[in-house]
Amino acid sequence: MAFFKGDAAYVMSLIQRLGPLLRRQVVKLTEAQSEKPEDIERIVLRALFDKGVIVKQPGNHIAFCKGDKVDERMITAVWALIPFAHALDDGCLMAASMPGKIWFLSEGVEYIIYVPVKGLEAELRMIEPTKNTRHIICLDSYEDLETILPYIDKLPSEQVVIAQVPVMRGNTTPHVTYKKLTQFFK
């Protein structure tokens, strides 16, 4: 059994913590943390594939084994996470408990990313307001904001950020935009 260090260990910890991810997501997250970002795709991923540590899944996903189930909500949450990747605090990234998808620290600030399911937005009522937590709620479009407002009314609006993460088809990277909830009510 080989032990991995550096970027290879980071790739493995991402998949272990978050589950199967798109190859582009693994590359972008690892490049943000790497001393040699140009080697991620060409050397690190190739070595992990060649050793059988990670496998390719349909749809250009990377996992530990072919049977690992892809969570599309996690994929969406990771797109919202990527802009914070360069400032993640060491070891402070993991899957969150319901209704969140990802919990992380960035520059000492706690964040939780949520991806509500259409028709099940009421699960957002489970979010407990805490003083120093920022809540990022991912929506396909800012026009969907009305569907979640009744369920997040107990959260301080200055702690809520809405991330517009368009559903992507094919091999494209979404253009993610962020707005503080307070910007919608000026």
pLDDT digits (tens, 9 = 90+) for 92-101: 899 998 889 9
Kindly tell me the burial class for residue 75, based on how many C-beta atoms sit within 10 Å of its own C-beta (0-12, 13-18, 19 or more).
buried
- Confidence category of residue 146, pLDDT binned at 50, 70, 90: very high
pLDDT, mean over the chain: 88
The residues, ordered by sequence, that sit 6+ positions from 16 with a Cβ below 8 Å of its Cβ are 64
pTM: 0.89
Neighbouring CB atoms inside 10 A of 116's CB total 21
Residue type, 179: K
Write down the pLDDT at residue 83: 92
* pLDDT value of residue 1: 39
Average pLDDT over residues 58-69: 87
pLDDT(25) > 80: yes
pLDDT of residue 90: 79
Positive or negative: CA dihedral 24, 27, 33, 39: negative
Q: Distance between CA 26 and CA 143 in Å, rounded? A: 29
